[in-house]
Amino acid sequence: MKSKKIVINNPNGLDLDLAGIVCKKAVQYKSLITFAYRDGTANAKSVLSVLGSCVRGGDEIELFCDGVDEDEAIAAITALLTPGK
């Protein structure tokens, strides 16, 4: 299992547009992809789960990837959530 803390730098947080992009990318991987925020967790492969987390711009999440392609998955999702870094 891989994990990484990420600060969401999108001013709108994980809004519908970004949630859709993240989910579309996440479903391409076999690994279980989740993230923890506050007292809960969200399934990165579910738009409703991501939106339900209510993550705002500037908030920090911890991304978890567990599976055969976890290295590729964590790199791809991190790149989506932190463009330009």
Q: Residue 75 sits in a domain of what CATH number?
A: 3.30.1340.10
Domain carrying residue 15? 2-81
Q: Residue 16: CA atoms inside 13 Å, Cβ hemisphere, count?
A: 0
> Is the model more confident about 27 or about 39?
27
Q: How many domains does the chain have?
A: 1
- Note the pLDDT tens digit of each residue in 28-55: 999 999 999 988 999 999 999 999 999 9
Average pLDDT over residues 11-37: 96
Examine the pLDDT at 83 and tell me if it is beyond 90: no
Examine the pLDDT at 26 and tell me if it is beyond 90: yes
Examine the pLDDT at 15 and tell me if it is beyond 90: yes
pLDDT of residue 82: 87
